[in-house]
Amino acid sequence: MSEAFAIEARGLTRRFGALLAVDAVDLAIPRARIYGFLGPNGSGKTTTIRMLCGLLTPSAGEADVLGLSIPADTEALRRRIGYMTQRFALYEDLTVRENLQFMSDVHSLSSAARRQRMATLLEEYRLSDFADRLAGTLSGGQRQRLALAASLVHEPELLFLDEPTSAVDPESRRDFWESLFRLVDAGTTILVSTHYMDEAERCHALAILDRGALVAEGAPRELAARIDATVVEVEAERVRAARAVLDGVGEILSVAQLGTRLHALLDPALAEPAGRLAAALESAGVEARVEVAPATLEDVFVAATLGRAD
Q: E strands along 5-51, which residues?
A: 5-16, 19-30, 34-38
pLDDT at 168 over 90: no
Across residues 48-65, what is the average pLDDT? 95
In a 3-state reduction of DSSP, which class is residue 53?
Answer: helix
List Cβ neighbours of 94 (8 Å cut-off, separation of 6 or more).
102, 134, 135
For the entire predicted model, the pTM comes to 0.90
CA 273 to chain centroid, in Å, comes to 32
* Paired residues of 258 in beta bridges: 261
**Nearest partner of 144 among 123, 174, 165, 117, judged by Cα:** 165
Confidence of residue 61 (pLDDT cuts 50, 70, 90): very high
The Cα 115–Cα 112 span in angstroms is 5
DSSP structure class, residue 135: G
DSSP structure class, residue 295: P
pLDDT at 309 over 80: no
pLDDT at 78 over 80: yes
The Cα 40–Cα 310 span in angstroms is 14
CB-CB contact of 229 with 305 (8 Å): no
How do beta strands 158-162 and 81-84 pair? parallel
pLDDT at 58 over 70: yes
The whole-number pLDDT of residue 307 equals 60
Describe the crossing of helices 140-151 and 111-124 by its angle, rounded to 10 degrees.
140
**Nearest partner of 207 among 17, 87, 1, 33, judged by Cα:** 33
The Cα 75–Cα 297 span in angstroms is 37
* CATH node for 228-294: 3.30.70.100
* Paired residues of 84 in beta bridges: 161
The whole-number pLDDT of residue 170 equals 82
Asked whether the domain spanning 228-294 has the same topology as the one spanning 5-224, the reply is no
The whole-number pLDDT of residue 2 equals 60
The Cα 40–Cα 38 span in angstroms is 7
pLDDT at 1 over 90: no
Across residues 243-259, what is the average pLDDT? 92
In a 3-state reduction of DSSP, which class is residue 236?
Answer: coil
Across residues 223-231, what is the average pLDDT? 94
The whole-number pLDDT of residue 104 equals 95
Instruction: Choose the weakest-confidence range: 55-69, 82-96, 248-262, 264-278.
Output: 82-96
The Cα 172–Cα 263 span in angstroms is 30
Average pLDDT, the chain: 92
CA 263 to chain centroid, in Å, comes to 23
CB-CB contact of 290 with 233 (8 Å): yes
**Any idea how long the chain is?**
310
Across residues 7-22, what is the average pLDDT? 96
Give per-residue pLDDT as tens, 94-107: 999 999 999 999 99
Q: Hey, where are the domains in the chain? A: 5-224, 228-294
In a 3-state reduction of DSSP, which class is residue 141?
Answer: helix
Confidence of residue 167 (pLDDT cuts 50, 70, 90): low
In CATH, which of 3.40.50.1220, 3.40.50.970, 3.40.50.460, 3.40.50.300 is domain 5-224? 3.40.50.300
pLDDT at 23 over 60: yes
The whole-number pLDDT of residue 224 equals 94
The Cα 251–Cα 248 span in angstroms is 9
